[in-house]
Structures are given as structure tokens and as C-alpha cells.
Structure 1
Amino acid sequence: MARALFLWLILLPAAAMPARAADRPIRVLALGDSLTAGYGLAHADSFVPRLQAALDEKGGGITILDGGVSGDTSADALARLDWALGDAPDAAIVELGGNDGLRGLEPARMERNLTAILDRLRQAHVPVLLSGMYAPPNMGASYGQSFRAVFDRLSHRPGIMWDPFFLKGVAAHPELEQPDHIHPNPAGVGVIVQRLAPLVERLAQDARRS
């Protein structure tokens, strides 16, 4: 009897571990550029804090990790990915490509970088919400088509949750943009967060199942 009780006391913590792991907050890395980092905005008005607040209102259980760096291209984000993964995210939002387009970088190079990022996240068993981007119109129709085709191809990768355009409902709406007509103002961030919050909740559910 004493031996049985001793074994039960030893095994009880191990048996309880899966339940605690399931209950802990899911950590979602927001890997992006100035759109994620909140360029031109007060911190409280930027994407990550606003998304966190929206998720908290729905019951919490999700922590957003700020991985946005203004000015980052896809190559820059790839170079710092291992550092970002040091925070042990359970899932990731990938919002990149805007600076590649603004600088007229080769879409093929962007595709290699984004593919490497998605491959690395998959190796780490991190489910991904990929948010697409369009090239600036002044880059010309041919460049814009090649640029967009990169995201169209990546959106079909297995296990990718797809959001076609990070600035959907904001781009070309001056009342939702900062004076540069590139970055969202606080009202524009609200539009983005309202659209993405349900997707992030689904992403967190995928992470809990993985």
C-alpha cells in the first residue's frame, strides 16, 4: 500500500503536465516590418498592442510577441528569424514584402527568402498565418504581377493559413492612412485588427492541437 502511494505521488505531476500545457497562453510571433512595428504611431495605437487588446477582450489565452522591425525586407527578417524564435513561439503571423516592393527588389529573391522563413517555421512546428502584400503601383504592371504571384504560390503551401492582403480595407482609403499613404493610422489599425483577430484565434487553436 505504501509503495503504491509512493508511486502515485511520483507519477501525479507528470500526469498533470499535459493539462497545464494546454491551459497556458499560446505565444504568437508577429514577424513583420513597419506595418507590424507601428511606424508613425504611439505604441498603444500600433498593431501588436491593439491585437493583444482585442484578443484579451475575447477571453485571453493568447500572447502576441512583437517581432516587427521598421524597414525590414524579407531578407532582413530571415536573417533575424532564429533570434525571434528564441522566444519559443507556438505560432506566427508573417507580414513581409512591403519593403521589397518599395525598393523594387527581385520578386524571385523575395520568394526564396519567404520560402526559407516558412520552411524554418515548419521545422519548428510553428503554424503560420501568412498575410499577403501588393507591390506599389508605380513599379509597373509586370513587376506587380510577378510580385503578387509570389504570395499566390506561397498561399498554397500545406498548413498555411492565408490572409490575402494585410492592408485590406485600409489601402487607398486616405481617412485610414497616415500622410505617407503607406502606413495605417490608428483607425486603419483598428480595421486590420478587426479582420485578423478571428484568424489569430483559429491559428492559436491549430497551435494547441499541434
Structure 2
Amino acid sequence: MVYFIPVGAENQTAPTILIIGDSLSAGYGMKAEESWPHLLQKKLQEQKSSYRVINDSISGNTTHNGLSRLPDSLKQYQPDIVILQLGGNDGLRGLSLKQMRDNFIQMIEKIQNQGAKLLLLGIKIPPNYGAAYTERFEAIFLELAEQYKLPFEAFFLAGVADNPELMQSDDIHPNAAAQPIMLNNIWQVLEPLLSD
């Protein structure tokens, strides 16, 4: 398994932000340095923050994949903050929402049991999956955030997903121009979690 680790990750004593995500965080269809996780590392460095960013995001991952690799990632990186960005592929594949919710619960509890702060990123799926499925899908993120009292961004593609100029030709993945907007959506919830 290959991880993209931005500049700063080599400092093993620095406080760590670990991103567990899918293609929306892996920089799909663009250079790694254009992706929002890389822009986050750059922003932290500009603000003289000591945090390093570990981007453990893999295109195509579902919540099942994330749950499978989470224990090793937590052990290896010992994060202070985890940004959990998964679920989109579960929804696009029409997978069981109960299983998705259960996977999230296990991930959240593993992260919290390690003592890391957790930021949950919500996502929406196209309406052609039917109102009942899409509404239930989106509700899971809010319910988990409330149940576990998590910092939460309900739709981190806000201002992006409805703008064709900010999307790649597949109409699923944001392009490079969208990444600063995505980072700004996330930063508003992430910044209060930073302790330095």
C-alpha cells in the first residue's frame, strides 16, 4: 500500500493529522500537490503550525476498506486528529446503509478509544438513487455526528458539486480548481481542533 505523505510528514515528533479517505481526498485526476490535503499541509506551514498531514486516502475505498486498514494506520501514525472522509463509494455502489453505518461506528470508536480528535466529513450522492436511499444516506452522517458529539462538515463539496466548472468530466470528482474551496469548507471545522 502506498501513502502520499506531504512535506512535513518526516517529522515523527510533530502532532499529526491523519486523513482516512477515498478519491475525493486522494487527489484523483490531478497532481498530488494540487489536492486539498496537500493544500492543508501548506496552509499549516504558512501559519507556522507544527502539524504534519498524513494523507491515507485511496481511490475507490468504501467504509469497509477504511475499517480494514484503520487499525494499522492508527498504530503507525499515532494521530492527534483524524479526518474521516468515506462513504461516497458505499452510496454510489448502492451498498447496505446499515453496514455503512456499522462500519462508521467501529471506525469512530477505534479512533476515539485511541484518544484522537475526530472530524467527520459528510457527502451527498446523486438523486437518481431514489429519495428514500439518498435521504437515509445523508442522515447517517448527521446522526453519527450527534451521537458521538463529533465536529462535522455536512457537505464538504458545498460550492463545488453544483458547479460544472469545478468538476472533472465524470461529474463525480472535483478538479484542481475546486480544491481550495473544499479546503476552506473543511478548515472552518478543523481549525478549532488545532492545539498549537
Q: TM-score, normalised by structure 2?
A: 0.89
Kindly indicate whether the alpha-carbon contact (under 8 Å) linking 1:28 and 1:62 is maintained by their aligned counterparts in 2.
yes
Instruction: Give the match for residue 26 of structure 1.
Output: 15
| Residues 1:113 and 2:86 aligned together | no
Looking at structure 2, the residues matched to 87 and 159 of structure 1 have their Cα atoms a distance apart, in angstroms, of 24
Tell me the secondary structure at the aligned position of residue 156 of structure 1: helix
Residue number among 144, 164, 188 corresponding to 2:154 in the alignment: 164
Deviation at 1:65, TM superposition (A): 0.7
Say which one has the larger Rg: 1
Identity between Structure 1 and Structure 2 (%): 37
Kindly indicate whether the alpha-carbon contact (under 8 Å) linking 2:156 and 2:185 is maintained by their aligned counterparts in 1.
no
Looking at structure 1, the residues matched to 19 and 31 of structure 2 have their Cα atoms a distance apart, in angstroms, of 18
Residue number among 88, 96, 119 corresponding to 2:86 in the alignment: 96
Deviation at 1:201, TM superposition (A): 2.5
Deviation at 1:199, TM superposition (A): 2.6
**Tell me, which stretches of 5 or more residues in structure 2 are unaligned?**
1-12
TM alignment of 1:32-181, pairs within 5 A: 32-85=21-74, 86-181=76-171
Q: Which has the higher helix share?
A: 1
Looking at structure 2, the residues matched to 112 and 62 of structure 1 have their Cα atoms a distance apart, in angstroms, of 30
Aligned residues: 183
Looking at structure 1, the residues matched to 94 and 84 of structure 2 have their Cα atoms a distance apart, in angstroms, of 20
Letter of the aligned partner of 1:188 in structure 2?
A
Letter of the aligned partner of 1:196 in structure 2?
I
Per-residue displacement from partner, 1:53-110 (whole Å, max 9, x unpaired)? 1222222221111110100000000000011112111110001110001100111110
Looking at structure 2, the residues matched to 157 and 189 of structure 1 have their Cα atoms a distance apart, in angstroms, of 29
Looking at structure 2, the residues matched to 198 and 165 of structure 1 have their Cα atoms a distance apart, in angstroms, of 12
Q: TM-score, normalised by structure 1?
A: 0.83
Return structure 1 stretches of 4+ with deviation > 6 angstroms. none
Letter of the aligned partner of 2:142 in structure 1?
D
**Tell me, which stretches of 5 or more residues in structure 1 are unaligned?**
1-23
Q: 1:157 to 1:25 in 2, by over 3 A?
A: farther
